[in-house]
Structure 1
């Protein structure tokens, strides 16, 4: 069984870099974590004596997130990263966790993610779309936190950090990388009739692209994304939802 396909009762350690995460994502973040497993540990790291973390303090008690104090010893050095990395390694060797959720857009956690995976644990990364690709690639799965931002009056979908706008068929068809990956997934998972199970294609895409998520394109489900592209046939039978490249019809 793939490490990302374990049951929803897997125990997870959620570690948040307060300096590189927005408190507005907390509700969406924890809802997403709940889909992946049980957050047995929820910790957030930062220098809580500084005013820039004030907006975090309002949500910590509400969500039972434990703040870990880390003073800045000198200007220009991020002591928060070091504290979070040391804590993660302690939890790796002493805690009964199935996986870790690392919440940051900082590439400094790239080696940490790789080391946790080397120990046989699953790593879910959460960060903004500006997150460097090495950190994204080091995770089993990476989820962009823009999809958690509410489209309320104070945060519209046109905002830089707002949720992704739903892309049109023309935009999706112009994304050659996306189309190629979907077609490769279909070819990899299809039977002799060129039909492939959509769930299997989705699993392939997640393995090939850790940051693949239909919500990045404005669609809640893979079925909706595939249907919007308009270049693939979709049917439902006793095998489930099946997909086929329309060019092979």
Structure 2
């Protein structure tokens, strides 16, 4: 009997000034898919009334609040405290990765440094997050997907049509490249490795950003690729003329 692989131990570090308490339930559910949240901390100046809305979420999900006073106006002491803690955890805790919850580009170098030390870095932030921060992570997950409510049409990510998806040249080109890299002599590729390859080139990739719950649904929705199931594997092939097979 094969030994069971233990899930990765993760540190979840939340910048309270740059995150919405409404995302917490969805955030932690997503983290649970990635590993075990061994450390859950949130940073901010808890003497300020604006952070009071976090209280219920912290108690319910056992997230440890870290107090950091704002020493001077215009300087974000919270960011510094979070970065120092992350580096302490890097050397003192047996962790497989870090989940940084913020849209603040000040954490770009931290993400890069953690990856240099062999740790997986998952970033959770809003769509306004600067591109350099997105690129510094192994995977970037937009937090808007955690605040979708059918009764509020403004927060629901509408499913993109085939035409809209085809007009996203970056997505289509990277998907084709990923299929090419993972394909056999006949041009067929296992959809799993294709998704992994795509995520390496596009850390912010997530089918939910396009209104699809699964990667297979998104690929099928584009209408430029053929899908087939074989021996419990889902295979994909580029439909363009002149491709393998």
Smaller-chain TM-score bracket? over 0.9
How far has the Cα of 1:221 moved from its partner?
Answer: 0.6
Cα distance in 1 for residues equivalent to 2:39 and 2:231: 41
What SS is found at the alignment partner of 1:244?
Answer: strand
How far has the Cα of 1:246 moved from its partner?
Answer: 1.0
Match for residue 62 of structure 2? 64
Q: Does 1:169 align with 2:169?
A: no
Q: Does 1:237 align with 2:213?
A: no
The aligned runs of 1:151-190 (5 Å cut-off) are: 151-153=149-151, 156-158=152-154, 162-190=155-183
Scaled by the length of structure 2, what TM-score is found?
Answer: 0.94
Match for residue 37 of structure 2? 39
Name which of 93, 96, 99 aligns with 2:94: 96
Scaled by the length of structure 1, what TM-score is found?
Answer: 0.93
The aligned runs of 1:1-249 (5 Å cut-off) are: 9-153=7-151, 156-158=152-154, 162-238=155-231, 240-247=233-240, 248=243
Cα distance in 1 for residues equivalent to 2:23 and 2:189: 35
Aligned CA distance change for structure 1 residues 69 and 82 (closer, same or farther; 3 Å): same
How far has the Cα of 1:152 moved from its partner?
Answer: 4.8
- Give unpaired runs (5+ residues) of structure 1: 1-6
- Give unpaired runs (5+ residues) of structure 2: none
What SS is found at the alignment partner of 1:61?
Answer: helix
Cα distance in 1 for residues equivalent to 2:233 and 2:84: 45
What SS is found at the alignment partner of 1:139?
Answer: coil
How far has the Cα of 1:163 moved from its partner?
Answer: 3.9
Q: Which runs of 4 or more aligned residues in structure 1 lie more than 2 Å from their structure 2 counterparts after TM superposition?
A: none
Q: Is the contact made by 2:44 and 2:68 (CA closer than 8 Å) also made in structure 1? A: yes
How far has the Cα of 1:157 moved from its partner?
Answer: 3.5
